[in-house]
Amino acid sequence: MKGTSLFRLFFAICLAIATTSAWAGVRNGNGEEILLQGFHWNSSRNPVPWYSVLAQQAATIGNDGFTLIWMPPPWTDSSQWNTPTAAGGGEGYFWNSFDKNSRYGSDQQLKQTVLALNNAGVKVVFDVVPNHMSDKAVYSMFPRGTNEWRQDCMQCDEGDAFMDGAADLNTANPAVFEAFKNEFINLRENYGAQGLRFDFVRGYAPETVDRWMNAFSNQQFCVGENWKAPNEYPQDDWRHNASWQDVLKDWSDRSHCTVFDFALKERMQNGSLAEWRHGLNGNPDPAWRAISVTFVDNHDTGYSPGAYGGQHHWALPDPLINMAYAYILSSPGTPTVYWPHMYDWQRDRLIRQLIRLRKSAGIRADSPIRFNTAYSGLVATTSGARGTLVIALKSDLQQLPQGLGTPALSWDNGDIRIWSNPVELATVAVNVHCDNANPQPGERVLAAGSSLEFGAWDPQHALALTLANGRWNATVNLPAQQHIEWKCIVRGQVPGAVYWQTGANNSFISGAVNDAVGRF
């Protein structure tokens, strides 16, 4: 075999491996994205065509700091439906064809709007709905009787049915897969798509999404809407007894796309402020934080201006909304802002400041976050590439360690406080011990000291130790190279009842030692 053809064969094999090899990372853009949901449930019924509204607002959207905008489904949808309590149709989720003349505006207006947004520095993510389409479309793109519809081959459907499944497509069918693959490439080539939001991903396989993204482009942003509670999985499916986090991480590992953080949404809806730490974006493992797309509400869960107030399937109670934005914009994950909160209902003054603080600290989707659970409410420290944010929500954090001056942002009578600090070094773990402690029944052993983690010398918020193998200790995560002064204390149930270790303070440099020992 001549040299050149041997080389060509070798090159062809390398190319085949490169294109079919699984995408190693997660497609979360550049890791510092801030997403705007660029529509609400009634946008397709807006008196002014929605694409014109977006084009006029494009410069503001860019100046407000958004890097991505989640556009509504671009495909024409002539459906209409009503129930005793709601009505709708035409929003793009029951589409007829890939025609881009929709209730949001014309094909031409769509192209002009994307151009205006790109000129404002905002990349466009299209909402796509491959699970189903209107089965009422007379000239359907997919012929019947050839296993392309779930109705023709139930077991061919890779996932759940939308409603009764009459409109479900079989996405694993080669003709169906190719049609969507070519349309996604068309959206990239001719409509400026630089990311995709996959609708109703419970309806098809995550691996199919990965194959579509390999063709669309691996470097772009993709997010899956996997809104399915663990108890909605069959009893014999491991996910039935898993956490929301585990279910979402599994989908992301198989699709290599980010996921809307319904684990955080569920905690915001049902948990206390302190329990907001159990979102995907608060996970100790950066690989879990990197896949999270955090949000407060969207066009399904929240209220929308206009008819029926939108859908509001799972709306966050109003008193929590500002704190929820303060949390998602100062913590890891890729934060999403819902259009009406920003541009209809005057939360923009707060949100604009939060975005500015996030950007100045260089918070990334996978940035480290530490929760100071000794305080009430929620207190956390997020370490960005260019600085650190300390956030306190409805907290009794009053006594501040040195260096933590006045908050960079205080809102809602101090329910929201955010400090912006100089860059903080990587965090290190230190084992803290208090020896010769013999607390009486009901008394606790703690370490009070100079940093937030040690309660800033406040016994009520000091670091609680536990007894293990006959020794009182606690492991605490701290920024490296911090000079920490501290003492062991025994605290009774009565607030004033505190017994301090006598003598000089204990002290250590975090990162220089693994153990810090104090003794009574």
Q: Can residue 142 be called a binding residue for ligand 7SA (CB under 6 A)?
A: no
Is residue 127 a contact point for Ca ion (CB under 5 A)? no
Establish how many alpha carbons lie within 13 A of residue 403's alpha carbon, considering only the half-sphere containing its beta carbon. 15
Q: Is 72 in the site for Ca ion (CB under 5 A)?
A: no
Choose the catalytic residue: 127, 183, 199, 366: 199
Q: Per CB under 6 A, does 386 bind ligand 7SA?
A: no
Residues 76-105, interacting with Ca ion (CB under 5 A)? none
164: contact with ligand 7SA by CB under 6 A: yes
Candidates 135, 250, 443, 458; binder of ligand 7SA (CB under 6 A) is 135
* 148 binds Ca ion per the rule CB under 5 A: no
Tell me which stretch binds Ca ion (CB under 5 A): 53-61, 163-171, 180-188, 497-505: 163-171
Q: Residue 171 class from Cβ within 10 Å (0-12 exposed, 13-18 middle, 19+ buried)?
A: buried
Q: Write each residue from 206 to 225 as x if it is in contact with ligand 7SA (CB under 6 A), else as -, in one continuous string.
A: -------------------x
DSSP conformation letters of 176-221 = HHHHHHHHHHHHHHHH-EEEEEES-GGGS-HHHHHHHHHHH-TTSE
Q: How far is the CB of 209 from ligand 7SA (least distance, A)?
A: 14
C-alpha dihedral (356, 361, 367, 372), degrees to nearest 10: -100
- How far is the CA of 272 from the CAs of 276, 324, 391, 486, 514, in angstroms? 7, 12, 16, 30, 33
How many residues touch ligand 7SA under the rule CB under 6 A: the total is 27
Integer Rg of the chain from CA: 26
C-alpha 294/C-alpha 358 separation (Å) is 14
Min. distance of Cβ 108 from ligand 7SA in angstroms?
25
| C-alpha dist (Å) from residue 311 to 266, 302, 513 | 18, 7, 55
Q: Are strands 427-435 and 515-519 parallel, antiparallel or unpaired?
A: parallel
Fill in the amino acid letter for 357.
L
C-alpha to C-alpha distances, 236 to 157, 242, 251, 350, nearest whole angstrom:
19, 12, 18, 46
Number of residues in contact with Ca ion under rule CB under 5 A: 5
Task: Single out the segment in contact with ligand 7SA by CB under 6 A; choices: 164-172, 206-214, 235-243, 363-371.
Answer: 164-172
* Binding residue (CB under 6 A) for ligand 7SA from 167, 263, 351, 389: 167
Per CB under 6 A, 227 contacts ligand 7SA? yes
Instruction: Build a one-symbol-per-residue string for 88-107: x at contacts with ligand 7SA by CB under 6 A, - elsewhere.
Output: xx-x-xx-------------
Judge whether 107 counts as a catalytic residue: no
Confirm if 295 and 336 have CB atoms less than 8 A apart. yes
200 versus 419: smaller Cβ distance to Ca ion: 200
Q: What string marks each residue from 1 to 40 as x (binds ligand 7SA by CB under 6 A) or -?
A: ----------------------------------------
Q: Which stretch binds ligand 7SA (CB under 6 A): 29-37, 157-165, 352-360, 464-472?
A: 157-165
199 or 424, CB closer to Ca ion?
199
Tell me if 228 contacts ligand 7SA by CB under 6 A: yes
Question: Rounded to an integer, what distance in angstroms lies between the CA atom of residue 488 and that of residue 490?
Answer: 7
d(CA 508, CA 482): 8
Residue 504 interacts with, from ligand 7SA, Ca ion, none (CB under 5-8 Å by kind): none
Catalytic residue among 127, 148, 225, 266: 225
Residue 384: which residues within 8 A CB-CB, separation 6 or more? 358, 361, 362, 363, 364, 367, 423
Q: Find out whether 427 and 368 touch, Cβ atoms under 8 Å.
A: yes
| Among 314, 345, 457, 499, interactor with ligand 7SA by CB under 6 A | 314
Q: Is 288 exposed, middle or buried (0-12, 13-18, 19+ CB in 10 A)?
A: buried
Residue spans of alpha helices (H) in 386-464: none
Query: In whole angstroms, how close is the CB of 201 to Ca ion at the nearest point?
Result: 10
Active site residue 266: no
The only residue of 300, 396, 443, 485 in contact with ligand 7SA, by rule CB under 6 A: 300
If one asks whether residue 159 binds Ca ion (CB under 5 A), the answer comes out as yes
- Give the bridge partners for 391, in sequence order: 380, 418
Active site residues: 199, 225
